[in-house]
Amino acid sequence: MPPMPAAATRVRVRVLGFAFLLAVVTYLDRICISAAAPFIMADLHLTFLQMSVVFSAFTLAYSLFEIPSGWLGDIKGPRSVLTRIVLWWSAFTMLTGAARGYQSLLAIRFLFGAGEAGAFPNIARSFSQWFPIRERGRANGVMFLGSRMGGMLSAPIALQLVAGWGWRASFVFFGLLGLVWAAAWHAWYRDRPEDHPGVGAEELAWIRGRRPDPTPDPTPYPTPYPTPGRMRYPTPETARATTPWAALLRSRNLYAICAMYFAFGYGLYFYFTWLPTYLIKELGFSQFSGGLFAALPFLLAGIADIVGGWLTDFLTRQRGLKAGRCHLGFGAFLTCAAFLFASTIVQSPILKAILIAMALASADLALGACWAVPIDIAPDHAGVITGFMNTLGNIGGLIGPLVVGYAVDRWHSWTFPFYITALVYTGGAVAWLAIDPTQRVLGSDRPGVGEPYRAK
């Protein structure tokens, strides 16, 4: 492999910085409505059921438009598509403050979800071009640390803004953050490292996994696009010609990945929706202590994202892709299920809250691997694959809170919903074992951009 490039030429670190900030802004805009919900309900005279439908409208639209937006990223490149996505969702974030009733709020949040769809699949597409396989787990870990920071910061920031300026002005503030990000991204980012003026020969060689000299390598790494006499690396232009839909839909990997991420989304959305209610109403915490324990899962999950991203890359280097991705994912999901089950057995409210927080951290330990696997199996179609994956994750996120709400209302107990969630995570752990990250979607063992042939 080529030597590690000098720090001054690590432009891809700035790409990762943009991804981190995007994740922060995404979750700030997505979750701030939860903190403002009591004020919105009082001002617009909404019932709890109507507010629940407003929450679900975002998730439904987000699920429906994930695959088309991810596909557009493969075809046109993340620079233009992500700019459109962030401008769209920022506009509808600000328009949330202009809602005058239930119907207008419902329409605005649905369009907000439609616009935000595809953000993470397009970042995955960007990572497929900018990061070699040995760095993708860590890159995804850092990015999702941003999402967990956004989850932690959203409620306190929103509450301060609502207290000082009112709930309508708070949405204008959050929307402006996205506009700033979109302008900077479009001005600075390039879809290919080769096209960025700051990328030197050493860094490009590191990303592509080849020597930096201009002469042909006598034993070059194979790519899906060989050209006689020299190496030709996949680009958005070569990838945009066709999307192998038939091969994608025949891939067992695709369905196993979607099943795995359905389990992740099913459990994750409990922390976005019902956790504060469970902590305060069921476990008896005060508003202050309940808020602290509601933030604890995101704090621990952020740490787990970093550790898990490093761990998946380390295990991949040492023991291969199957161990680095699938075995890590299996252990993380199964441990998450065990923590959730244990929380139903212990009696102490504090211990219950800690175990629930540890469950999310355990699942997030595999989050870097979750988003690296689609790039492993289809680097030139990462937007589509992650679009499928995130669609099923958000369908799980749509179903999970509804199951919890129905079960608590029907049986007046939180224990049964936790049993169901633990079983879903166990199923996700089994799905991890069905994934083969060394098997390309098109049935080839040849690696994509920056992937060493020996990776499996």
Residue-wise pLDDT tens digits, 141-183: 888 888 888 877 776 777 677 778 888 888 888 889 999 999 9
pLDDT tens by residue, 385-434:
888 998 999 899 888 888 887 787 778 888 999 999 999 999 999 999 99
- pLDDT level of residue 210 (50, 70, 90 thresholds): low
Return the SS3 of 405: helix
Give the closest residue to 143 by CA, choosing from 312, 20, 29: 20
Provide the H-helix boundaries in 7-101. Answer: 11-44, 48-64, 66-76, 78-96
Instruction: Give percent of the chain with pLDDT exceeding 90.
Output: 31
- pLDDT of residue 222 exceeding 50: no
For tokens 């233009």, the residue is: 80
Cβ pair 19, 146 in contact under 8 A: yes
Residue spans of the domains in the chain: they are 8-209, 243-441
Q: Domain 8-209, what fold? A: Growth Hormone; Chain: A; (1.20.1250)
Classify residue 47 by burial, with Cβ atoms within 10 Å: 0-12, 13-18, 19+.
exposed
pLDDT tens by residue, 40-76:
888 899 876 777 778 778 888 888 888 888 888 888 8
d(CA 163, CA 79): 37
d(CA 148, CA 281): 24
Domains 8-209 and 243-441 share a fold: yes
At residue 231, the pLDDT reads 36
At residue 108, the pLDDT reads 92
Cβ pair 63, 391 in contact under 8 A: yes
Residue type, 225: Y
Q: At what angle do helices 328-343 and 349-364 cross, to 10 degrees?
A: 170
pLDDT tens by residue, 327-383:
999 999 999 999 999 999 999 999 999 999 999 999 999 998 998 898 888 887 887
d(CA 159, CA 150): 14
At residue 10, the pLDDT reads 78
Architecture of domain 243-441: Up-down Bundle (1.20)
pLDDT tens by residue, 268-293:
988 877 787 788 878 988 877 877 88
